[in-house]
Amino acid sequence: MIAATEPVRILSKSPTDDGEGQFLEVSMGPQHPSTHGVFRMDVVLDGERIVKLKPVFGYLHRNHEKIAENETYLGSMPYTDRLDYFCSLTNNWAYALAVEKLAGIQVPERAEYIRIITAELTRFQNHAALIGFLTQDMGASGTPLMYAFRERETILDLFESLTGARMMCNYMRFGGCRVDLPAGWLDHAKQFAATLPRFLDEFERLLATNEILMARTQGVGVLSKEFAVNAGVTGPILRASGVNYDLRKVDKYGIYDRFAFKIPLGEHGDTYDRYMVRLLEMRESLNILNQALKDIPDGPIVDPKTKIRGFKPKPGEAYGRIEAPKGELGFYLISDGTPNPYRYRVRSSCMMNLTVLEELCIGRNVADVVVILGSIDIVMGEVDR
């Protein structure tokens, strides 16, 4: 709120020099609550250059953590779908992992494989859609996005035939998964995975050496290694800055230690590296996916000792984290032995990654802000929770 004594000004004088140039404050971005993913920035401009940038969020706040503290453990599983609604399956996994740590539940091997298959498909479709949105923000209106969505639709079809929903999957359970793979699903997935390299080649030919893309992204929004680490940035953005940190390698949660895959790293930390790291990560996801589809064993899909109703973990605390497509997604739970968690906290990767936005934007033009924001890859459902 602006104090009554303070005059409302659109043009504000520079706080550093007197009389030399004027700053313009602009409210950038939509702010109507009925639109989805609402994010607004208060930017202070010196001509076209950004002097100050203040992210304004909270338009999509839904009280996720407090709701979860009043739900049963299973009851918050469908709410985790709605955090990052592009990647509901990885959200499910992170939450299931936290509860499994809390209650000491073992996951059968087949369920671990299914989790990895679905998580890598999720990563693939998230990165494909992100590159589409990023290029759309740059003005490539539609074509790359539609190509990405063509593949994403097929992945969502696979999700639908497995979980019953395209986006709000609600599939993982404590100690496994909800249902087994339907008949023919694996063959379908294998066939589909065989077509993906062609799509990736096409996607690369479409954009990777495009001069306009390079002019708009190379050297734009450079995030230094040190700053990225200090700010708690995780995920592809951190790796684009050249820090080799991937929880799939660091934590080896699930059974990721059984798979051979590489971590693509960037060198400059600019928007182009962030774009390229994701493109390469898609190839690595495909690599993991192929290995998992080949090796998946038969067996039970859920730990039979875990109860659906009346699930009460013993008192204690646990932090489960996974490498979600957007970065480290963690759930911190404290149990007091009742059916509801005493404390439920989401460590959201989008929120942490968004904190570096001002640093990346200062000194750049207004048009670059959109590109930089696109390359950070935020979903407001997870930022605001």
Partner 1 sequence: MLVILSVAKNLGIVWNFEVEVETVFGEGILKGLAETARNFLGSYVSKNRLTTVQYPEERLPQIEAYRNFPFLVYDGEDWQQGLRCVSCFICEKECPPKCIFIEKSTDKKPDAVGKPQFYPTVFNIDISVCMSCQICVEVCPFDAIKMDTDFELSTGNRFSGLLWDKKHLAKSNEHYHKIHPTEAAAVDAQLAADRAKTAAKAKAAAEAKPAAAPATPPPVPAGSEK
Q: Which residues bind partner 1 (CB under 8 A)?
A: 71-72, 74-79, 81, 143, 147, 150, 153, 157, 160-165, 168, 170, 178-179, 182, 202, 205-214, 242, 244, 249, 262-268, 276-277, 280, 308-309
Residue 19 or 198 with smaller CB distance to partner 1: 198
Q: CA 51, CA 193: separation in Å to the nearest integer? A: 46
- Closest CB to partner 1 among residues 30, 139: 139
Residue closer to partner 1 by CB (options 181, 357) is 181
CB 198, min distance to partner 1, A: 11
Q: Which is nearer to partner 1, 33 or 310 (CB)?
A: 310
Min separation Cβ 135 and partner 1, Å = 10
User: Which of 150/190 has CB closer to partner 1?
Assistant: 150
Q: How far is the CB of 180 from partner 1 (least distance, A)?
A: 11
Smallest separation, CB 208 to partner 1 (Å): 8
As measured in angstroms, the least distance from the Cβ of 48 to partner 1 is 25
Cβ 106 to partner 1 shortest distance, Å: 21
Q: Are 125 and 155 in contact (CB under 8 A)?
A: yes
Nearer to partner 1, 182 or 315 (CB): 182
Residue 7 CB, nearest approach to partner 1 (Å): 44
SS3 annotation, the chain: CCCCCCCCCCEEECCCCCCCCEEEEEEECCCCCCCCCCCEEEEEEECCEEEEEEEECCCCCCCHHHHHHCCCCHHHHHHHHCCCCCCHHHHHHHHHHHHHHHHCCCCCHHHHHHHHHHHHHHHHHHHHHHHHHHHHHHCCCCHHHHHHHHHHHHHHHHHHHHHCCCCCCCCEECCEECCCCCCCHHHHHHHHHHHHHHHHHHHHHHHCCCHHHHHHHCCCCCCCHHHHHHCCCCCHHHHHCCCCCCHHHHCCCCCHHHCCCCCCCCCCCCHHHHHHHHHHHHHHHHHHHHHHHHHCCCCCCECCCCCCCCCCCCCEEEEEEEEECCEEEEEEEEECCCCCEEEEEEECHHHHHHCCHHHHHCCCEHHHHHHHHHHHCCCHHHHHC
Nearer to partner 1, 81 or 357 (CB): 81
Q: CB of residue 276 vs partner 1: minimum separation in angstroms?
A: 5
The residue among 284 and 382 lying less far from partner 1, judged by its C-beta, is 284
Alpha-carbon Rg for the chain in angstroms: 22
